[in-house]
Structure 1
Amino acid sequence: PLSSRKNPGLLYSLLHSYVLGHDAMKRMQSSNVLVSGLRGLGVEIAKNVILGGVKSVTLHDQGQAEWRDLSSQFYLREEDLGKNRAEVSRIRLAELNSYVPVVAYTGVLIDDYLTQFQVVVLTNSPLEEQQRVGDFCHSNGIKLVIADTRGLFGQLFCDFGEEMLVIDTNGEQPLSAMISMITKDASGVVTCLDEARHGFESGDFVTFTEVQGMTELNGCQPVEIKTLGPYTFSICDTTGFGDYVRGGIVSQVKMPQKVVFKPLTASMAEPEFVLTDFAKFERPGQLHLGFQALHSYQRKHSRLPKPWCQADGEELVSLAKEVNSGQTGSAKVDELDDKLIKKLAFVSAGDLAPLNAFIGGLAAQEVLKACTGKFMPIMQWLYFDALECLSEEEGGAMLTEEDCAPRNSRYDGQIAVFGSQLQEELAKQRYFLVGAGAIGCELLKNFAMIGLASGEGEVIVTDMDTIEKSNLNRQFLFRPWDVTKMKSETAAAAVKQMNPSIRITGHQNRVGPDTERVYDDDFFESLHGVANALDNVDARMYMDRRCVYYRKPLLESGTLGTKGNVQVVIPFLTESYSSSQDPPEKSIPICTLKNFPNAIEHTLQWARDEFEGLFKQPSENAMQYLTDAKFLERTLKLPGAQPLEVLEAVYKSLVTDCPHSWADCVIWARHHWQCQYSNNICQLLHNFPPEQLTSSGAPFWSGPKRCPHPLEFSTSNHLHMDYVMSGANLFAQSYGMQGSTDRVGVAKILDSLSVPTFVPRSGVKIHVSDQELQSANANVVLSYLHPQPFPFDDDSNFHMDFIVAASNLRAENYHIPPADRHKSKLIAGKIIPAIATTTSAVVGLVCLELIKIVQGHKKVESFKNGFMNLALPFFTFSEPISAPSHKVQDRGGLPTPLNKTRRPNHFPSTVSIPRRYLLFQYLNRIINT
């Protein structure tokens, strides 16, 4: 079953299924994955794969934790030094998703051991082992991912066999358009309504529905098209079809594509590269040789080149030339870039958390592609470098071996690249992080690893939301026992465990005009910079205005499914976030769905989650209990209150909620209506009354938070009855019972039903025992349990009836205009949540830009804005757009402000001011500071 490994109520698999699809999730949940090498890169990959929801993850490492590991291995502590990395990491990784078994293995990777895995990941491994394992995997149908990071350089390789079938090459929702005309021609021409471009491309395949007249097209096999214009395209011969009358919808069909991979050895000689930066077009070929030279150096010296050692750098250049001279295929380059290879030698002993986050996010996404066949894999090599992070003084030429020598410090891996002075500067930084969701959690983890604010500095993180169960699949700092706690405080405590030296404070304030007395002049002027981890444009633009006003660097980022972007804003150097207009956001901020919806998109996704939680998860959990002998044993070992929660859900499915008649199903649906649309709303208003204030004195129900109101059930209300009818039928189907469409009969049952009066709860105590659970076997026959899938295209099974009713009732709770069936289906099909892989990669890039800021970079070409789509895969980086300059007169006769000790000595004749910022306001700020 799709969610047979899913913890009840936790939306690990559901949220990923929005991106991957149900069929892909089924394939992923039958995949066993091996991750070899548990340094910083390996643990990043393992974390993301576990959150993805595969069948199992095995951690392999034969090494012991060292000081330099602590630079990026966020699940190692100082007390773990000398212990096996895999064994120590297993305990903490297993907490991420309790229904993905995580085991540690410290033996040799012999061939027989590898046969149990569908995907093998090698990190920080010798070339000889890569080739041996690669040959075996290729010959035995096991998919292979090799990932390595060496200081500021990263490498990724994929071999998914000779018959990899990609079921969706781009991850986009299939397009559809409404038809206005179809001609009868040898190549029939389809014209779409001119309200919107059809968006199809030549070579796409489409099918048709609801066509009147030319009905032969309805339900036809996918037809290849040729685009003729933005509203027209041609299809097959339609001369033998009926005359087109009206109507019709044309829908794109994703066609599977076969992809062939070369084995590792062959691909090394004839490499194909995925470019990550078009400004570095020749660099992949150079680094392809450089990494092979590093393997030769390690084989010769049993170590990597010493940090910033000139002699070791020269030797690596010589080895790279030997590797190049031995090439006979396309891997051979005309001229080796000696300077680049030297820099590779200088930093290769380093271990940087941001680079591991970026490469680890990419590698984990490739693992998921290998498991599911969803999205186009990397073909077959990817190289990345962030040399711009080095000092602008000739790429860090001022560093010496002594500056970068190990100090038995948790930052040794970072000092090896940047030296000790930058580490001291990082410790002094004072940063404001706005948001502790998916991006915020990853940022805090990276902050802790790089040592930001680990001295006299401080990180202030603010987030007004509490932790929901739906957060747990990607906001990895949170655990099930943290649900209902404040995000900011919990995240701060979690990263303190990773690095006790970080100074961090959690706030629960919403940034905006109403909290400017909290985040005032003194607050902003004490900052070194701001990082946004927000999920809406308005809040981003507000923080952008504040950063422009106070002249503070801003790190901006965002994700949408497999897509991500990074923007760095530097005062007087780059344009601001608001200087360019983003397209309207189409994603749903999931963290607001449970209690604070404010748009129909929110209520529709909530309704989908409700569908899964009522008609899919309970049956699957009960089936797992009845068929898996170790289910109870494994469940009782879960931490915190999870055992009771899991067993309570199973007990309800098998005993207390088990219907014996159609009337029981109706009563169940009516009680659930009361719970969701009346009692839960009353409970929410009991906890947060309409007059509730935040800790800063601002109204709680303000901004995006709509104050709800409870509904009162009535059998004369058509929408209320829609919910009960669809819910009761789906509940009956879940137990293999016959439903009914007799609304009059259902109304009679409801009229005789007495619903208990709501009483506010201060806590819920769950009572369940092993004996009661075991007796459930006699109450339900396994074959009667039928988990309900959710196909969008079937309107005859009550699924969309329930979604529409559930969504619009919740919309009524929150005074949100409802959506009709067609609009609901359209919106619900476009919901795409954040996923851990993209978030990890994006935040890695953000923190590389942060390092540049702390380094004091002054050249715009040193910084990088970036965009990626891991589904394609596609990456592009560019220099930030420079801020426009405005020439003004010297201050001359301008009056000198009194008592302004921070006033500049002179007024500049030329200033760089972001667009959309009032010139007089900005100049006034400069004059009066």
Structure 2
Amino acid sequence: MNALESHLEIDEGLYSRQIYVLGYDAMQRMTGSSVLVSGMKGVGVETAKNIILAGVKSVTVHDQGDAQWSDLSSQFFLSEGDVGQNRAVVSQRHLAELNSYVPVVAYTEELSEKFLSAFQVVVLTNSSLEEQLRISDFCHANNICFILADTKGLLFCDFGEHFVVYDPSEAEPVSATIQHITQGCPGVVTIACEEKQEHFENGGMVTFSRVEGMTELNNSDRGVCPDPCAVSAGPYHLEIGDTTTFSPYHRGGTITQVKMPQTHSYVSTSLLSRGYGKACSPCDLTHYCTLHMAFQALHAFQSKMGRLPRPRNQVDADRLLELAQDLAGWQAPLDEELVRAFAAVSAGDLSPINAVIGAMAAQEVLKAASGKFTPLDQWFYFDAWECLPEQEHSVPLSEQDCAPRGSRYDGQIAVFGADFQERLGQQKYFVVGAGAIGCELLKNFGMIGLAAGKGGRITVTDMDTIERSNLNRQFLFRPQDVLGLRPPLKSEVAAAAVRHMNPYTNVTAHQDCLGPDTEQLYGDNFFLGLDGVATALDNPQARVYVGERCVQYLKPLLDSGTEGTKGHVQVFVPFLTESYGHAMDLAEKTYPLCTLRHFPTAIQHTLQWARDQFEGLFKKSAENVSGGEALEKLELVHSSLQEKPLSWGECVAWARRLWEQLFRNDIQQLLYNFPPDHVRHSPSYRKSGSSPSPLFPLPLDTHMAFILAASRLFAQTHRLQVSGDEVAARQVLLVLCLMLFLQPRLESQALPRDLLTLPSFRVMSQCKIPSPPPLNLSLIPLSLAPQDDNSNFHLNFIVAASNLRAENYGIPTADWLQSKRIVGRIVPAIATTTAAVAGLVCLELYKLVWGHKDLGSYRQSFLRLAEPMFICIQPCSPSKQQVRACMAPKPRPSLGDHQGLSEHGLALRMLLYREAVLYAAFWSSEKLKEQLANRLTELVHCITGKAVPKDCRFLEFQIVCEGEEEDSTPPPVHVQLH
């Protein structure tokens, strides 16, 4: 099977966002892997769910146990009616609905060696130590990738003695424009110093392309010797070996990193006691050692006692500590309090922990099945002890508090107690967004019982509808949701799915965009009634707005985001952490206009240029002609009127002339203005290593793709029906005459007949288009279609135009999928990262519900599942600023409306309500007296022309005080109305 046939088997409509993460080759390798997941409790079903969504060959789920009440706190495919039934059998029915490309089978017998031999990857969860050792040894000896995952925070991988990683990282290969190459031993390559230029790896491999002069380097791989070093002028230098005998370097060229396969070696679980992973510091080493020994001691405890330690039972905790100390010996010191805490909660089962461990386990499965990304080496321990109650602020939990109650939350009660569970049920939370992260958040909220009690409420809002590409990572949606002519709203389907998982969850679905236009709906009463807000947005501006509202109403905010295998979670607590706006940098990447118009150096530049061409040719020109201001824009619409087509053939002719203008004439004009030798020394072109060149014979497909797409779009804007295909377009091109391009101050010369590699193209010196008769001037403006609409030739035009321009400038071209990602600003996404960050969000939610007051209890988390890397740090504290001594006791002043400004004692210079000035010290005494005699609500009404709504609880004002520094910004003042 060739590569093209393999790629066609990948359903781009379903896997589009995941393809950007893994690539075609890795996904194709995944389709050859059968996976076994043993143990269908919380972490097992979470792992299986993520694997199935990703699209492996097949998944077999195994469990010999029956569902119990405690399983319902984290196993989202079990209901109260399933208690007493086999977990694997019940789960299989639901898992099979996730992805029609992945067969799912349930197995309830013992795992024999013959049965295990049918799989390429085996995942064990909820298993005994004896079972782990037996299966691990068999898998290691038979080249089967083995993964161990435990709901208490353990992950272990053994991929055999010789596992090949084809692509170790998620990053695109480093690429740079060449400025110069020396002849010598070693040869030194000078590369352009671009903003945020990634460094080439020491000892890595690179390849060269489009080098002029020293052509021996083109398409050859060479090693990079020492570390690239920055010089004072800015460029980087790389040594590449002996270039003494090579031709002198002239200009141009690109150097690109070559990712080389890596071979990794692993040991089996039978060597369990020999190591416990890597630690970043001596403190981490003690922590890791303690957890490692605690897990082994737990296995010994279960073997002897036939059960897990009872929650908060002191005798069981002492026994587990003794076992851990015996196992540790003198290897390393143990944290005794950590072991006791481990014993106290080991009988628990938390959905957020399962989400994190299950997501990471699933990502390791995908690495094993695809050879994509660096696998775990080999142990990983995860804990979130900060979620337990702060000792100085609470009464210690007792064994009675955490005892089973025959409740669906027993697995969580075993960790946090019954009172905390009741507090969770009373929470009122606002979830903004019901996409990938939103679905995972709602699933976890349903499992932990958030808003499932008296007075509790979850409000979720999302104005989007479900699309097929959502099904690969937005867990609560199913294929039947996209079968109808009118797709349903995400928020409604997600809310219904959560109620099905936990019928006690009080969740309400909205379809409103959160913003200034909906502040009547999401106003004072709404926000003041909340306990917190969780965002699941991919729009930075929307997240900033939500952050501002949370600051305004003093509500905690849980924010998270993903990009490929990278994810982050941040928690913002009033008066304890910095606010969202202070933590984010929203500057978008922009390119200088001269770079886009004349001197592009990267495919991103040519794609933006092509997008601008699309907007100018098919949107703005049509709007100018059709709009009411057309008479004021005669110069802009002149060409549109002159070239109005009457037939499909004239559209093809227009597209051919456009090709001539953009990719030949404009380039010749640029070369006349900036000859190659001059360009190389031009400040505006200093970063570019090559000069442009008019297109000469190239593969015909690129040219015809542009002409076909441009002609179709031109026909659409002029309301003409496309009546021909590529064959008809070629017939038009056979008899087409083109006007000769005349360079300034140069005599005209004949153009080559093979201009477009079409021998039948005839280029003549004169050809005028006859003036068309008076016609209806109404045109149809074209707006760039949604990301997943591939049927309208919008992207076809942009991709073809970008690649043709890239050929002009010697820039490596991009395929259709890569171009689509860049143009559409599509964020790569995969279900594993989404599940992990949602789990981490819920861990911070636990702390908010407890009411933790210590900043050190909260965590900002950053992860890269591809490497894998996991970092948890303490949030930043808020900046403190003393505005005036009278304001020192409160972070934000609060006044009553019956108090006048003159009575409060604030030495104000200015008072503003939104953008309206209500008071200014420099006003005349008469105006000041008149203003100060009014109540603030009356001033707001007078200035804005709108009465303050009766249900408004307070007004927020900005103040400028006398004697404050120029760069000092006092906090807003809240005026309480009720």
The answer to whether the 8 Å contact 2:10/2:24 transfers is no
On the 8 A contact 1:603/1:808 being kept in 2, the answer is: no
Aligned to 2:307: 303
**Pairwise CA distance, 1:896:** 4.7
Q: CA deviation at 1:400?
A: 0.7
Q: Residue 24 of structure 1 corresponds to which residue in structure 2?
A: 26
**Could you tell me how far apart the structure 2 residues matched to 1:51 and 1:804 are?**
19
Alignment partners' CA distance in 1, 2:247 and 2:790: 41
Amino acid at match of 1:745: Q
Q: Which amino acid aligns with 2:401?
A: D
Q: CA RMSD in A?
A: 3.9
User: 1:82 aligned to 57, 81, 84, which one?
Assistant: 84
State whether structure 2 residue 436 is matched by structure 1 residue 433. Answer: no
Cα deviations by residue, 1:813-858 (Å, 9 ceiling, x for unpaired): 99xx989653872755766511011111111111000010001100
Preserved contact between residue 64 and residue 82 of structure 1 (Cα < 8 Å): yes
Aligned to 1:224: 224
Residue 910 of structure 1 corresponds to which residue in structure 2? none
Distance 2:530 2:126 in 1: 38
Residue 928 of structure 1, CA deviation = 6.6
Which letter maps to 1:149?
A: T
Q: CA deviation at 1:234?
A: 1.0
Gaps of 5+ in 2: 231-235, 591-602, 612-617, 628-645, 660-700, 710-724, 737-756, 759-786, 900-936, 938-950, 955-965
In structure 1, distance between residues paired with 2:56 and 2:174: 29
Distance in 2, Cα, partners of 1:204 & 1:804: 37
Corresponding residue of 2:714: none
Residues 857-872 of structure 1 aligned to structure 2 (within 5 Å): 857-872=852-867
Matched, 1:925 2:974: yes
Alpha-carbon distance in structure 2 between the residues aligned to 1:876 and 1:170: 17
Go from structure 1 to structure 2 and tell me whether the alpha carbon gap of 1:487 and 1:259 turns closer, same or farther (over 3 Å shift). Answer: same
Among 865, 873, 876, the residue aligned to 1:878: 873
The alpha-carbon deviation at position 536 of structure 1 amounts to: 1.8
Equivalent-residue separation in structure 2 for 1:819 and 1:222 (angstroms): 27
Q: Which has the higher contact order (CA 8 A, sep 6+)?
A: 1
* Partner of residue 744 from structure 1, selected from 725, 730, 734: 730
Q: Quick one: which of 42, 45, 69 aligns to 2:44?
A: 42
Separation in 2, partners of 1:302, 1:155 = 21
- Aligned-pair distance for 1:902? 13
Matched residue, 2:794:
810
Letter in 2 for 1:521: D
* Contact kept in structure 1, 2:61 and 2:106, CA below 8 Å: yes
**Pair 1:457 & 2:456 matched:** yes
| Contact kept in structure 1, 2:652 and 2:708, CA below 8 Å | no
Separation of aligned partners in 1, 2:431 and 2:605: 25
Return the offset for 1:195: 3.6
CA shift in 2, pair 1:503/1:137, >3 Å: same
Distance 1:840 1:448 in 2: 14
Cα separation, 1, equivalents of 2:303 and 2:605? 56
Is the 1:293–1:319 contact (alpha carbons within 8 Å) kept by the matching residues of 2?
Answer: yes
Which position in structure 1 is the counterpart of 2:930?
A: none
Is residue 6–residue 28 contact of structure 2 (8 Å, CA) maintained in 1? no
Tell me, yes or no, if the aligned pair for 2:200 and 2:228 is still in contact at 8 Å: no
Q: Please tell me the residue identity of whatever aligns with 2:314.
A: Q
Query: For the residues of structure 1 that align with 2:288 and 2:895, how far apart are their CA atoms?
Result: 58
Correspondence for 1:686: none
Question: What is the alpha-carbon distance in structure 1 between the residues aligned to residue 98 and residue 654 of structure 2?
Answer: 44
Matched ranges for 1:664-679 at <5 A: none
Normalization by structure 2: what TM-score? 0.70
Partner of 1:136: 138
Paired residue for 2:245? 240
Contact 1:38 1:59 in 2 (8 A): yes
Instruction: Provide the secondary structure at the position in 1 that maps to 2:76.
Output: coil
Per the TM alignment, residue 460 of structure 1 is displaced from its structure 2 partner at its CA by 0.7
Take 2:161 and 2:377, find their aligned partners in 1: how far apart are those partners?
12
Closer, same or farther in 2 for the Cα pair 1:403/1:288, shift >3 Å?
A: same
| Correspondence for 1:715 | 652
Q: Find the residue that maps to 2:47 and give its secondary structure.
A: helix
Give the 5 Å matches for 1:417-496: 417-455=415-453, 456-483=455-482, 484-496=487-499
Aligned positions of 1:423-822 closer than 5 A: 423-455=421-453, 456-483=455-482, 484-582=487-585, 584=587, 714-718=651-655, 725-726=704-705, 743-745=729-731, 809-810=793-794, 821-822=805-806
1:60-459 equivalences under 5 Å are: 60-150=62-152, 154-196=153-195, 197=197, 199-230=199-230, 231-266=236-271, 268-275=272-279, 280-325=284-329, 333-393=331-391, 398-455=396-453, 456-459=455-458
Partner Cα distance (1:746, 1:479) in 2: 48
**Which amino acid in the other structure matches residue 361 of structure 1?**
A
Per the alignment, residue 616 of structure 1 pairs with: none
SS in 2 for 1:147: strand
Change (3 A) 1:584 1:233: farther
Q: Distance in 2 between matches of 1:839 and 1:402?
A: 36
Residue 606 of structure 2 contacts residue 805 of structure 2 at CA under 8 Å; is this kept in 1? no
Q: Following the alignment from structure 2 to structure 1, what is the Cα–Cα distance between the partners of residues 112 and 136?
A: 12
- State the alpha-carbon separation in 2 of the partners of residues 581 and 425 from structure 1: 32
Counterpart secondary structure, 2:229:
coil
Deviates more, 1:275-284 or 1:111-120: 275-284
Q: Over alpha carbons, which structure has the higher Rg? A: 2
Structure 1 contact 274–378 (Cα < 8 Å) conserved:
no
Residues of 2 paired with 1:603 and 1:248: CA distance?
17
Contact 2:289 2:332 in 1 (8 A): no
Closer/same/farther in 2, CA of residues 333 and 808 from structure 1, 3 Å limit: farther
Supply the distance in 1 between the matched residues of 2:314 and 2:185 (Cα, whole angstroms).
71
CA–CA distance in structure 2, aligned partners of residues 712 and 450 of structure 1: 64
Structure 1: gaps spanning 5 or more residues: 326-331, 588-599, 609-676, 682-689, 691-710, 731-738, 751-794, 797-802, 905-915
Give per-residue Cα distances to partners, 1:293-350, cap 9 Å, x unaligned: 101111111110011111110010011112223xxxxxx6332221111110100000
1:273 match: secondary structure: coil
Q: What secondary structure sits across from 1:715 in the alignment?
A: helix
- Aligned partner of residue 212 in structure 2, secondary structure: coil
Q: Taking structure 1 as reference, are residues 305 and 195 closer, same or farther at Cα in structure 2, changes over 3 Å only?
A: closer
Contact 1:277/1:876, CA 8 A, preserved across alignment: no
Residues 1:463 and 1:819: Cα distance change in structure 2 (over 3 Å):
farther
Question: How many residues are paired up?
Answer: 737
Instruction: Report the AA paired with residue 291 of structure 2.
Output: L
CA shift, 1:399, in A, is 0.5
Task: Check the 8 A contact 2:14/2:468 in 1, yes or no.
Answer: no
Counterpart-to-counterpart distance in 2, 1:320 and 1:810: 65
CA distance in 1, matches of 2:141, 2:894: 79
Q: Any conservation in 2 of the 1:529–1:554 contact (CA below 8 Å)?
A: yes
Q: Tell me how far 1:740 sits from its aligned partner.
A: 7.9
Query: Is the partner of 2:415 in helix, strand or coil?
Result: helix
TM-score, normalising length: structure 1 = 0.73
Letter of the 2:201 counterpart: E
| Pair 269,869 (structure 1): closer, same or farther in 2 beyond 3 Å | same
- Whether 2:835 is the aligned partner of 1:840: answer yes
Partner of 1:617: none
Verify the 8 A CA contact 2:355 2:838 in the aligned structure 1: yes
SS at 2:885 equivalent: coil
Instruction: Quickly say closer, same or farther: Cα 1:7–1:207, change in 2 above 3 A.
Output: closer
Contact 1:206 1:225 in 2 (8 A): no
Cα deviation for residue 443 of structure 1 reads 0.4
2:225 and 2:121 map into 1 onto residues whose CA distance is 36
The CA deviation at 1:144 is 0.2
Measured against aligned partners, the alpha-carbon deviations of 1:219-274 in whole angstroms (never above 9, x if no partner) come to 102423433324221111100100000000001110111111011112x1322514
